[in-house]
């Protein structure tokens, strides 16, 4: 018999523990149209908020754990950056020193560091840039965790547990990472067509606006499903959350600068 009459489990075959079988099972579970991964991705992209509401409501058999989903989206984003060489969330030391709002502060810190260690800027910059790139890719979850208190404050009257807002933030930022992955591909396509990619102010601005609109739309359509808010509260909450999210991206660059500075 193929299945056990007591527990219903499929009986093991002689080759069930082979490397080939393990790989086949992995591909089946992740690529099947009924698999958790595909269903979770599809729901995340086409029905904003549904995945979060399902997880909060206890429908978890068909959904992927939000932490796992977030890190998979992060892996996709990192892979896109690695393949294309386009880096969205990290800035080189030269940018921190001359192009950011905190450039004067950065110049003071870096100047003191160079004097203390008897280093030249030319020697320190490559070390900083490599570590900043790694930190920017590895610590994206900090943005999601920093965002989570915002819906908790806005919808405190819903009396949801803290974990519900964290799930909402993780799903939102999983969506954000997928949107950014598409932006990376578009920037690379512009380079292949003879453009400058994100080095072009026009391309950077257009992609930034499109990213912001996409994320704002996700938040707007997700709020009614997760927090049962409609009308003016939905609009106002979506606008506030979208702008805070944009602010967090700027703040993230500053945090990455500080973390990289104090670890190099």
3-state secondary structure 56-80: HCCCCCCCCCHHHHHHHHHHHHHHH
> For residue range 164-206, what is the model confidence (pLDDT) as tens digits?
999 999 999 999 999 999 988 888 888 888 888 777 777 778 8
> For residue range 132-146, what is the model confidence (pLDDT) as tens digits?
989 998 888 999 999
Q: What angle do CA 50, 244, 84 make, to 5 degrees?
A: 75
Quote the percentage of the chain above a pLDDT of 90.
53
Which band of pLDDT confidence, cut at 50, 70 and 90, is reported for residue 11?
Answer: low
pLDDT over 80 at 60, yes or no: no
**Residue 206, pLDDT score:** 85
d(CA 260, CA 257): 5
Lowest-confidence region among 37-51, 152-166, 195-209: 195-209
Q: Provide mean pLDDT across the span 105-119.
A: 93
Domain map (residue ranges) of the chain: 66-262
**Residue 29, pLDDT score:** 58
**Residue 81, pLDDT score:** 86
Q: Provide mean pLDDT across the span 110-122.
A: 92
**Residue 61, pLDDT score:** 82
Model-level pTM?
Answer: 0.82
Cβ distance 129 to 92 under 8 Å? Answer: yes
Q: Provide mean pLDDT across the span 27-48.
A: 76
């Amino acid at each position: 018999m193929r299945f056990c009459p007591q527990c219903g489990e499929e009986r093991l075959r002689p080759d069930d523990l082979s490397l080939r079988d393990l790989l086949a099972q992995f591909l089946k579970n992740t690529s099947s149209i009924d698999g958790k991964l595909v269903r979770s991705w599809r729901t995340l992209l086409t029905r904003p908020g549904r995945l979060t509401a399902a997880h909060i409501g206890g429908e978890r058999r068909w959904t992927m754990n939000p932490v796992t989903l977030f890190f998979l989206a992060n892996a996709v984003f990192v892979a896109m950056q690695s393949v294309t060489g386009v880096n969205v969330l990290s800035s080189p030391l030269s940018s921190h020193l001359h192009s950011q709002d905190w450039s004067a502060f950065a110049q003071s810190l870096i100047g003191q560091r160079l004097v203390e260690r008897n280093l030249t800027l030319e020697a320190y910059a490559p070390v900083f840039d490599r570590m900043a790139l790694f930190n920017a890719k590895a610590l994206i979850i900090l943005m999601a965790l920093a965002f989570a208190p915002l819906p908790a404050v806005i919808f405190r009257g819903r009396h949801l547990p803290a974990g519900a807002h964290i799930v909402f933030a993780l799903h939102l930022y999983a969506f954000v990472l997928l949107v950014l992955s598409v932006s990376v591909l578009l920037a690379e396509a512009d380079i292949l067509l003879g453009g400058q990619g994100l080095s072009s102010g026009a391309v950077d601005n257009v992609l930034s606006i499109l990213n912001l609109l996409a994320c704002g739309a996700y938040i707007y359509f997700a709020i009614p499903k997760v927090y049962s808010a409609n009308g003016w509260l939905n609009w106002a909450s979506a606008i506030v959350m979208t702008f805070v999210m944009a602010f967090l991206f700027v703040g993230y660059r500053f945090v990455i600068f500080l973390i990289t500075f104090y670890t190099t």
